[in-house]
């Protein structure tokens, strides 16, 4: 996904014609270089912002798609909003995690908010569930349905709990990674995961397979 940094005022993000530097495109920048790029972008360096967006965009796209489902009608809008939110939040980025993780965290929160708003506006039917099911081999149909169930259940959790559980369960982050990206104490992350799991268990008591998946997703480390 090619993006451009002219979004601080809320304008849509147009396409770029130039290709990113090879190191940026492959994600080969070392940690210190990534942090320096983020600092430059947060200070208004247009070239650094373009490079940083090219680097984090694939991770943002994957995170939004994972939370919303691959065929959600507002998928593209949520991705754009997540990239805008990432650039706007850069001045508060402390460097406790990689910029791509910071961007993914914002993407998860943005995607969750977009799903909840879409649900309030219309039907609870999620067309992405149909696509997941159609594309899945017979042995994976149950897993596809569970993914859809988890997405819907996340819509009903408090935002901070939903964010923590999505990062843990959908993106597979460790508790330490979640704590660093959200700038939250580890014990607070554990508490949010515990409360999220309890909330979901009340809703999925009839689905042992989903309950087992939640146990695996919210365990240590």
Any residues with CB less than 8 A from the CB of 183 and at least 6 apart, and which?
94, 96
pLDDT tens digits along 131-161: 444 444 545 555 666 667 778 788 888 999 9
| Residue 79 contacts residue 64 (beta carbons within 8 Å) | yes
- pLDDT over threshold 70, residue 205: yes
| For the chain, the helix, strand and coil percentages under 3-state DSSP, each to the nearest 5 | 70, 0, 30
157 to each of 17, 130, 149, 196, 218, how far by Cα in Å? 40, 23, 13, 7, 15
Of 29-43, 117-131, 148-162, the range with the highest mean pLDDT is 29-43
Give the position of tokens 């508490």: 191
Identify which has the larger pLDDT, 24 or 139. 139
Of 26-40, 133-147, 207-221, the range with the highest mean pLDDT is 26-40
Query: Rounded to whole angstroms, how far apart are CA atoms 116 and 26?
Result: 33
Other C-beta atoms within 10 Å of 202: how many? 9
* Rounded mean pLDDT, 181-185: 92
13 pLDDT tier (thresholds 50, 70, 90): very low
- Lowest mean pLDDT across 68-82, 117-131, 197-211: 117-131
Any residues with CB less than 8 A from the CB of 173 and at least 6 apart, and which?
101, 167, 181
Mean pLDDT of all residues in the chain?
78
**pLDDT above 90 coverage of the chain, percent:** 47
Instruction: Read off the pTM.
Output: 0.72
Enumerate the CATH 1.10.10.10 domain ranges in the chain, comma separated.
124-221
Enumerate the CATH 1.10.1740.10 domain ranges in the chain, comma separated.
1-122
Give the position of tokens 């850069």: 90
Beta strands, E only, 10-110: none
Copy the structure tokens of residue 179: 């704590």
- pLDDT over threshold 50, residue 84: yes
Query: Rounded to whole angstroms, how far apart are CA atoms 216 and 197?
Result: 11
Copy the structure tokens of residue 114: 């977009």
**In CATH terms, is domain 1-122 a member of 1.10.10.10?**
no
pLDDT of residue 215: 59
128 pLDDT tier (thresholds 50, 70, 90): very low
Domain 124-221's class? mainly alpha
């Amino acid at each position: 996904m090619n993006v451009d940094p002219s979004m601080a005022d809320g304008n849509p993000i147009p396409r770029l014609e130039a290709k990113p530097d090879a190191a940026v495109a492959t994600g080969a920048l070392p940690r210190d270089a990534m942090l320096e790029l983020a600092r430059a972008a947060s200070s208004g360096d247009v070239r650094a912002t373009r490079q940083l967006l090219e680097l984090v965009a694939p991770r943002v796209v994957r995170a939004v798609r994972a939370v919303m489902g691959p065929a959600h009608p507002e998928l593209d809008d949520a991705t754009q909003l997540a990239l805008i939110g990432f650039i706007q939040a850069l001045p508060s980025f402390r460097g406790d995690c990689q910029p791509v993780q910071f961007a993914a965290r914002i993407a998860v929160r943005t995607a969750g908010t977009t799903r909840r708003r879409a649900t309030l506006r219309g039907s609870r039917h999620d067309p992405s569930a149909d696509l997941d099911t159609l594309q899945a081999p017979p042995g994976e149909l149950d897993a596809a349905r569970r993914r859809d169930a988890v997405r819907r259940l996340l819509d009903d959790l408090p935002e901070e709990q939903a964010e923590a559980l999505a990062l843990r369960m959908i993106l597979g982050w460790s508790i330490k990674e979640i704590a660093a990206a959200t700038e939250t104490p580890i014990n607070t992350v554990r508490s949010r995961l515990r409360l999220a799991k309890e909330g979901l268990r009340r809703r999925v008591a009839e689905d042992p397979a989903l309950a087992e998946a939640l146990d695996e997703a919210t365990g240590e480390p």
